[in-house]
Structure 1
Amino acid sequence: MLVRGPLSGPDERLSRALVRAVPDSVTERLADFGNVPVAVPVLVLAMAYAVRRSRRWVPALTAGLSMALVPAVIVPLKAWTARPGPLEPWAAGYYPSGHTATAAVAYTAAALLVRPYARRKWPVPLALALAALTAAGLVLRGWHWPLDVLASACLSFLLVLPVARAVSRSTRRSSG
């Protein structure tokens, strides 16, 4: 088990200070942004919109592949680390957070796909806010340790990079 290390003590202390600091009814709704039935349809709609507007499939397919890689990356890491949860020490598989990764990849990839067609630069900040609210809800509710969501955010950044590159290439081609 890879659950003990120099950051585990501070992580656990921070979690104890934060858990249930906000009513469960609020934090559960925030955590729900990371549910597949909520996040993935947002990405699918953005994929369809981007293909319709640009007539280019590569950025949308890259976004879909990035989303498909979330469970392929997260599930083995959960099994390998077998970290127990803050409120369920008998259960394992909390590190890294799948809900955080789902929210971060789905919303950020969707934002990157629609950003070239937005009049303002709101899509990416909105996506980052939704991912951050999901992570906060998971930690404040006690469903994840702070490092669980931080690790997922870092992994999500790596999964979304190809989407950003594909969108950038597609945008340069269409404007050039």
Structure 2
Amino acid sequence: MHVLLVEDNRFVADSLRRGLARYGYRVTWVATGRDALAAPVTDLVLLDLGLPDIDGLDVCRELRARGDVPIVILSGRGSETEKVVGLELGADDYLVKPFLTRELIARMRAVLRRGPTGPACRPFPHRDTYGRLSVDRRAHRAFLDDVEVPLNPKEFARAGPRRAALARRAR
């Protein structure tokens, strides 16, 4: 899955990129609102509000006007008013900094499950099925009876050659 990260703070962006990569996400990072609006379409947008050139709320409004890409706002602005405005302008979720990567991943997955036109509703071209076991090669996720089996990257890599054996056991 391809994520557009719009974050002007290099330290925060680098940390998020590493964390998302561990969960199998491909991340394109931009530091300005102009670059975000010029970026190619991705599966999901993570949007900081405090950008140096354009307010993140304006970027959110413009992205929403262009289509249905899921948008999760990541901001230090934590007031109720800011959250409500962000959601009213088209964001699908709002997460206040600081946050843990696992919570961000869970919120991203929840947002992707919701929308009828979102990427979560598309066919799974990168998912291989072995009986009751299915493996998403791109996102590095495994499912048994459509329930995700939590695997860290090392476990996922080691399971690669043994997928067929795992599938036989799952039957």
Structure with higher RCO (Cα < 8 A, 6+ apart): 1
- Which protein has the bigger helix share? 1
Q: Give TM-score, length-normalised by structure 1.
A: 0.27
Structure with the bigger percentage of strand = 2
